[in-house]
Amino acid sequence: MPELPEVETVRASLARDLIGKKIKTVAVTNGRVVRRHKTAKDFRALLEGHSIKSAQRLGKNLIFGLDNGNHLVIHLGMSGQLLRAKNSKDPKPKHTHVVFTFAQGEELRYVDPRTFGELYVSIPPAEGVDVEISKFARLSIGGDGLTLRRQIPELAHLGIDPFEDQIGWDRFAAIMRSRSTSLKVVLTDQDIIAGLGNIYADESLFSAALRYDRRAESLSTIEIRRLHRAISEVLTEAIKHGGTTLDDEQFVNPDGKPGSYQQYLQVYNREGLPCHQCRLPIKRVTLRGRSTFFCEKCQS
Ligand SMILES: [Zn+2]
């Protein structure tokens, strides 16, 4: 599943050529991906003829600002891809569900074999209407996150985005001390920290030398500072390498190219392989139906 670094890779790539472009037509061939709208026609009508003004990200959501103040929000779900094409003659991949055509004939295609992803147009709330924003996000002291949540009520529930919201380690500590569940559960709960999933939660915990099953409230100040730093360092490195593309998954950037952070993974998907730090085999456990990878010696 694409997580923050993969979504950010897609955002940065699309920002380079979509900003300023006018959406000429939108074709929807699978209504399931625009399920928030009554009909695919409603979705199309909100986009056709409008220009893209901005490309942002919050958690795992891509957000394209339109010239009328509305936002096109795209969540890639488990297997969504956004792929650019020079024109309609480029062969369409299987499972292409939405095609955006721009003024010069170039296309952006939404491809999703498992169809868990979604696209919708969000209309900002009327003046004076209060949006209930996540109590964790409200701890933010800077960044674009709060403005985005006010404009896009569908995303107001999202917890802290490690880059779009600014919180120092002390506020991060307050969040951790208020949670009695395990670190893995806290880090992957989008309503607490937005953007981390299975891969980057495991990698951040290894980098911070903390076990997945430690209760968040049990962390010492030093451990919290270590975790806070590890999350932003791991995500920054992963973005630098264009995200992670695993053998069994299909993450590619809009040019169809895979990421390379899989070469740098310390624990994720490395069950039985020697830990890069202590050489003991990496362990895997199943937690809430999903795999967690860790080193018994290096993480406590
Ligand atoms: Zn180790």
Alpha carbon of 278 to ligand 1 centroid (Å): 4
Query: CA 77 to CA 67: how far, in whole Å?
Result: 26
DSSP code per residue over 176-202: HHT--SBHHHHHH-TTTBSS--HHHHH
The two structure tokens encoding residue 15: 């920002």
The two structure tokens encoding residue 204: 């951040």
pLDDT per position as a tens digit, 141-158:
999 999 999 999 999 999
Query: CA 52 to CA 59: how far, in whole Å?
Result: 20
153 part of the active site: no
pLDDT per position as a tens digit, 145-193:
999 999 999 999 999 999 999 998 999 999 999 999 999 999 999 999 9
pLDDT per position as a tens digit, 61-113:
999 999 999 999 999 999 999 999 999 999 999 999 999 999 999 999 999 99
Question: To which residue do tokens 């928030």 refer?
Answer: 36
Signed CA dihedral, 14, 15, 21, 25: sign only: positive
What domains can you pick out in the chain, each with its CATH number?
4-123 (3.20.190.10), 169-294 (1.10.8.50)
Radius of gyration in angstroms for the set of CA atoms belonging to the chain, rounded to a whole number: 20
Alpha carbon of 202 to ligand 1 centroid (Å): 13
Alpha carbon of 266 to ligand 1 centroid (Å): 9
Beta bridge partners of 75: 61, 118
44 part of the active site: no
Query: CA 259 to CA 245: how far, in whole Å?
Result: 5
pTM, to two decimals: 0.97
Residues near ligand 1 ion, CB 5 Å cutoff: 275, 277-278, 295, 297-298
Alpha carbon of 1 to ligand 1 centroid (Å): 26
Long-range contacts of 282-289 (CB under 8 A, 24+ apart): 285/212, 287/182, 287/184, 287/185, 287/212, 287/213, 288/185
Closest C-alpha to 160, from 59, 239, 77: 59
48 part of the active site: no
The two structure tokens encoding residue 203: 């990698």
Query: CA 122 to CA 65: how far, in whole Å?
Result: 10
Alpha carbon of 204 to ligand 1 centroid (Å): 14
60 part of the active site: yes
pLDDT per position as a tens digit, 264-283:
999 999 999 999 999 999 99
